[in-house]
Amino acid sequence: MRQLICLLFFLTLFTMTALAQSENDYVRHVVVFKYKADASEADIQKVTDSFRDLQNQIPGIVSFEHGINNSPEGLNKGFTHVYLLTFENAEARDTYLPHPNHKEFGNLLSELGVLEEVFVVDYTVGG
C-alpha cells in the first residue's frame, strides 16, 4: 500500500511538473488596434469575429481573448481594442504568422480600411 501511495505521489508530481513546463512554453501574441474614427461597429465586429475564427483554422492556438480598453489612466494613445492569442510554443506562433488564413485576415483588414494603427507584442509566459 505504501508503494502505491508513493507511486501515485510521484506520478502526480511528474504530471504537475510537465503541465507547468508546457505552460512556460506558451507564447502570448498581443495585438492592439487603433480603429479609425469612422470605423463602424459592424466592421469592428467583423474583424473581431474573423480574428477569433483563426483559432479554428490554424493549429497551435491555445486560446483567443479580446476586449476594449477601459483603463481610467488615459494612456492608451487611442488604441482601444486588444486581442490576445496564446500559442502552444514559439514554433506554433511562427507557423501562424505566414499561414494563409492569417494572410487572409490581413487582407480583410486592408479591404475594410478600418485601422489607423496597430502594434504587436509577443512574449513567452514566465520568460
Mean pLDDT calculated for residue range 109-115: 98
CATH assignment of the domain containing 60: 3.30.70.100
- Contact criterion met (CB below 8 Å) for 83 and 45: no
Per-residue confidence (pLDDT) for residue 126, from 0 to 100: 80
Write the burial class of residue 51 (CB in 10 Å: 0-12 exposed, 13-18 middle, 19+ buried). Answer: buried
Is this prediction's pTM over 0.75? yes
CA–CA dist 37, 114 (Å, integer): 8
Whether the pLDDT of residue 8 is over 50: the answer is: no
Per-residue confidence (pLDDT) for residue 1, from 0 to 100: 53
Q: Is residue 35 part of a domain?
A: yes
Whether the pLDDT of residue 10 is over 90: the answer is: no
CA–CA dist 106, 31 (Å, integer): 13
How many percent of the chain have pLDDT more than 90? 79
Mean pLDDT calculated for residue range 81-97: 98
Q: Is residue 32 part of a domain?
A: yes
Q: Is residue 113 part of a domain?
A: yes
Smallest CA-to-CA distance from 64 within 83, 89, 42, 91 is with 83
Q: Is residue 36 part of a domain?
A: yes
Domain that holds residue 44: 26-124
Q: Is residue 89 part of a domain?
A: yes
